[in-house]
Amino acid sequence: MKKGRFVLFGILAVGLIGFVVYQFLKPKSPKDMVTYNGNGVELKVEYSRPYKKGRVIFGEVNDQPLLAYGQYWRLGANASTDITFSKNVLFGGKPVAAGTYRMYAVPDADSFEISLNSEPDISAAHNKPDYSKDVAKVNVPVQKAEETEQLTIGFSDSPPGVNMEIKWDTILLNIPIIPQ
């Protein structure tokens, strides 16, 4: 009888410890992947999706936002945001060769500068990229949108290509991608 209780207690203790460790180690911003296959191109974006959680997301430094205007943002959380193109494209009007790139942003009130950099898959991408490895920079006008709690990247058909849509807080960015 004592042995049975000891085993049961051991199982419960291991389960509780496992649960606590999982809660501590699981990312607060879950990793996601979005893909697109159409209009002659395949696209894939891998990123982590932070939540707003009542915070001021974008703004002037003195407003203490999560992401201050004019400052580097890895366009996600936890690690770099990577985008893969199956073929050469025009990304926001700029030519980009097929391949995988690190994508980051510099937000501003009226537009975001979105950059593609040739050093993809950088874990814990808190550090700014090597700007000499940027392959494209595009200025994308900010559109106002309904509030989005969690950062979301998606695609919508826009022949002859596709629009990549980035939504978070009350902003929407549309970047045209046209296969070449």
The 10s digit of each residue's pLDDT in 21-55 is 444 555 688 999 999 999 999 999 999 999 999 99
**pLDDT for 21:** 45
Kindly state the average pLDDT of the residues 105-119. Answer: 97
* Percent with pLDDT over 90 in the chain: 76
Task: Assess whether the previous peptide bond of 160 is cis (omega < 30° from 0).
Answer: yes
The 10s digit of each residue's pLDDT in 121-159 is 666 556 788 999 999 999 999 999 999 999 999 999 999
**pLDDT for 78:** 87
**pLDDT for 120:** 72
The domains of the chain are located at 29-179
**pLDDT for 119:** 87
Q: Measure CA 105 to chain center.
A: 10
Interstrand relation of 94-96 and 89-91 (parallel, antiparallel or unpaired)? antiparallel
Length reported for the chain: 180
**pTM listed for this prediction:** 0.83
Which residues pair with residue 172 across a beta bridge? 143, 167
Say which DSSP state 43 is in.
Answer: E
Which of 25-29, 30-34, 76-80, 116-120 ranks highest by mean pLDDT? 30-34
